[in-house]
């Protein structure tokens, strides 16, 4: 099964719609994958807690990063919350059908998302990761594998992504430390991102 590779020079994908012409806002999700000193992969996914409605902050402690599949997969979402939860439920069902096959489950979800009349209307982006792969899933039927192991989505995704790439060159930092520092930088720049982070690690 062929998975598209997301080259480092490509900016994070931001869907646009007639309701949100500037792309997904009100959130920042960052996933960092790094090989630790023991040779094992470290994976950290972080999300901020702010939910915005227009120019108003309506919630500061939303949880946009979650574990599914018995804790073996971590997920983060940008976009409409109800839509994202619907897609996460579908992804978890795919993982029950294809245990420990995140790529297969992601591809099956992307196919359904693109072709199903109901799912096509859902507006969200999903970042998912297990111990082996990190993937970005979009409503255009894309399953993207970042070549550098970093995914950034949401209004602050570009800022967090740039910071994480820079920090990856710093010796001694874990994936979790890189994620937290990068999210702090994004929160200082993006008005739709706050400093109340949720971080999950594998």
Give the CATH number for residue 185: 3.60.20.10
Closest among 99, 31, 94 to 66, alpha carbons compared = 31
Confirm whether 5 is domain-assigned.
no
Rounded Cα–Cα distance for residues 93 and 88 (Å) = 9
Span 121-141, mean pLDDT? 90
CA distance 171 to 128: 26
Please state the rounded mean pLDDT for residues 52-68: 87
User: Per the domain annotation, does 36 fall within a domain?
Assistant: yes
Decide if 1 is inside a domain: no
Is 80 exceeded by the pLDDT of residue 60? yes
Higher pLDDT, 81 or 180: 180
Within a domain: residue 84? yes
Question: Is 105 within a domain?
Answer: yes
CA dihedral 54, 57, 58, 64 (to 10 degrees): 100
Q: What is the pLDDT of residues 61-99, one digit of tens each?
A: 889 999 999 999 999 998 888 888 999 999 999 999 999
Domain assignment of residue 8, yes or no: no
Domain that includes residue 47, residue range:
15-201
The rounded distance, in Å, linking the Cα atoms of 33 and 133 is 9
Of 4-18, 37-51, 185-199, the range with the lowest mean pLDDT is 4-18
Question: In percent, how much of the chain has pLDDT > 70?
Answer: 87
Give the number of domains in the chain.
1
The DSSP secondary structure of 125-161, one letter per residue, reads EEEEE-SS-EEEE-TTS-EEEETTSEEEEETTHHHHH
Q: Could you tell me if residue 78 is inside a domain?
A: yes
Tell which wins on pLDDT, 13 or 153.
153
Active site residues: 27
Residue 6 lies in a domain: no
């Amino acid at each position: 099964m062929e998975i598209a590779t997301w080259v480092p020079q490509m900016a994070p994908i931001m869907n646009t719609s007639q309701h949100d012409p500037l792309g997904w806002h009100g959130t920042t999700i960052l996933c960092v994958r790094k090989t630790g000193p023991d040779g094992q992969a470290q994976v950290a996914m972080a999300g901020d807690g702010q939910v915005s409605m227009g120019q108003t902050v309506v919630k500061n402690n939303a949880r946009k990063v979650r574990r599914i599949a018995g804790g073996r997969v971590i997920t983060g979402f940008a976009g409409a919350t109800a839509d994202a939860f619907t897609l996460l439920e579908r992804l978890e069902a795919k993982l029950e059908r294809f245990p420990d096959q995140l790529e297969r489950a992601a591809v099956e979800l992307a196919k359904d998302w693109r072709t199903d009349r109901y799912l096509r209307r859902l507006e969200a982006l999903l970042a998912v990761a297990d111990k082996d792969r990190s993937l970005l899933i979009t409503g255009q039927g894309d399953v993207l594998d970042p070549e550098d192991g970093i995914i950034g989505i949401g209004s602050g995704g570009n800022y967090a992504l740039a910071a994480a790439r820079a920090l990856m060159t710093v010796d001694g930092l874990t994936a979790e430390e890189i994620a937290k520092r990068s999210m702090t930088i994004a929160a200082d720049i993006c008005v739709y991102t706050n400093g109340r982070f949720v971080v999950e690690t594998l």
